[in-house]
């Protein structure tokens, strides 16, 4: 197998992992820019599907997304390359600063920096949310599911796994009966 796609996957996801703060949601715009807009490995629709799957499966969103993209591009070796690329920067940073963290966490400049970083992360998460929302098929059913999922998780503190199962089953049932009614 040609190793060039695996090397490219590794370096693309290494760059994403190294220069993105805030976890998986904050990485979504960067992954899209690199994978869809830059390398054109996937379409926006395929990327949206991968994010939906990555969000629905156990594990960190960034790792799951990298694994799915790598698998789509270069099979198992691509999945391993992309996953190692996105994980390695964080691992190296944590390895390097784990001993120093206890010594620097009380410095005011460190507290100030993290306050600014948190604000930036909120913007990145909001950007990812808006991007995902624009690609969502909008209608009464989708609005009802969005509201129901929000109510279940935020107000009733229902586990997100159960909420996702509810949303998935609702989508299956809705589409089954709506297609059936159209003379399927």
Question: Range of 20's domain?
Answer: 4-102
- Does this model's pTM top 0.75? My answer is no
Query: 36 in a domain, yes or no?
Result: yes
Q: Number of folded domains in the chain?
A: 1
Query: 62 in a domain, yes or no?
Result: yes
Query: 126 in a domain, yes or no?
Result: no
Query: 147 in a domain, yes or no?
Result: no
Q: Please give the Cα distance from 145 to 167 (Å, whole number).
A: 6
Q: Please give the Cα distance from 117 to 115 (Å, whole number).
A: 6
Q: Please give the Cα distance from 39 to 55 (Å, whole number).
A: 23
Query: 32 in a domain, yes or no?
Result: yes
Query: 42 in a domain, yes or no?
Result: yes
Per-residue pLDDT of the chain (184 residues; tens, 9 = 90+): 567 899 999 999 999 988 877 777 888 888 889 999 999 999 988 988 888 888 888 888 889 999 999 999 999 999 999 999 999 998 898 888 877 877 888 889 988 998 998 999 899 889 888 988 888 888 899 999 999 999 999 999 999 899 999 999 999 999 888 877 665 5
């Amino acid at each position: 197998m040609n190793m060039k796609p695996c090397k490219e996957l590794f370096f693309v996801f290494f760059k994403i992992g190294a220069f993105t703060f805030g976890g998986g949601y904050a990485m979504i715009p960067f992954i899209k820019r690199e994978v869809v807009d830059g390398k054109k490995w996937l379409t926006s629709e395929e990327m949206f599907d991968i994010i939906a799957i990555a969000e629905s499966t156990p594990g960190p969103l960034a790792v799951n997304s990298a694994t799915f993209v790598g698998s789509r591009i270069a099979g198992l070796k691509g999945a391993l390359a992309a996953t190692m690329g996105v994980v390695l920067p964080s691992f190296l940073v944590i390895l390097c600063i784990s001993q120093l963290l206890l010594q620097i966490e009380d410095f005011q400049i460190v507290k100030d920096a993290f306050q600014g970083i948190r604000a930036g992360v909120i913007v990145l998460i909001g950007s990812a949310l808006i991007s995902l929302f624009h690609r969502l098929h909008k209608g009464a059913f989708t609005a009802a599911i969005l509201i129901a999922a929000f109510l279940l998780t935020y107000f009733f503190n229902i586990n997100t796994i159960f909420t996702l199962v509810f949303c998935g089953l609702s989508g299956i049932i809705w589409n089954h009966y709506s297609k059936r009614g159209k003379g399927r």
